[in-house]
């Protein structure tokens, strides 16, 4: 039940990201969210206002025809704390043609507040090829 609610929340969030729907992206996030984003800042993005501000540049990049699609998702839920990790196809058609196996790695931390799951932490990254 908790696991299914969280899975639905994350899948809905990913659709909102892909559609450039900022309200949908923000709908289930805490005021004190900490995000480790793909680009800097080095110490992470702190708070919902800073989190909100990261999305318009991403949507602009995505408008080239980029994908943002969950390939796999695993959720571990307790009664009031949960985490999840996912792999996503995320890239422009040219990027995905050049590196078809590359994946955005996503980890989320969630809390249940007043009966409702909310995202308090996100960590987005690509593997670093040397």
Q: And the tokens for 93?
A: 């058609």
- Pick the piece of the chain touching a second copy (CB under 8 A) from 21-29, 41-49, 51-59, 62-70: 41-49
* From 78, 94, 98, 116, residue interacting with a second copy (rule: CB under 8 A): 78
The answer to whether the beta carbons of residues 112 and 2 sit under 8 Å apart is yes
Q: How far is CA 33 from the centre of its chain?
A: 12
| 87 within 8 A of 71, measured Cβ to Cβ | yes
Pairing relationship of beta strands 45-46 and 29-36 according to DSSP bridges: antiparallel
Smallest gap from residue 42 Cβ to a second copy (A): 5
Q: Is 44 in the site for a second copy (CB under 8 A)?
A: yes
Alpha-carbon distance of 46 to 121, in angstroms, equals: 10
15 or 120: whose CB is closer to a second copy? Answer: 120
The contact set with a second copy (CB under 8 A) reads 34, 36-44, 72, 74, 76-83, 85, 87, 101-103, 105, 107, 109, 111, 120-121, 123, 125-130
């Amino acid at each position: 039940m908790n696991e299914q609610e969280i899975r639905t929340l994350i899948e809905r969030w990913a659709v909102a990201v892909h559609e450039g729907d900022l309200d949908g992206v923000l709908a289930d996030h805490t005021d004190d969210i900490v995000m480790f984003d793909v680009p800097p800042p080095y110490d992470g993005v702190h708070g919902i206002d800073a989190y909100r501000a990261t999305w318009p540049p991403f949507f602009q990049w995505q408008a080239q025809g980029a994908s943002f699609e969950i390939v796999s998702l695993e959720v571990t839920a307790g009664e009031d704390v949960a985490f999840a990790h996912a792999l996503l196809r995320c890239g422009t058609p040219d990027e995905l043609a050049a590196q078809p196996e590359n994946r955005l790695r996503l980890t989320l931390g969630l809390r249940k507040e007043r009966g409702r799951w909310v995202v308090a932490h996100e960590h987005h990254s690509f593997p670093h090829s040397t």
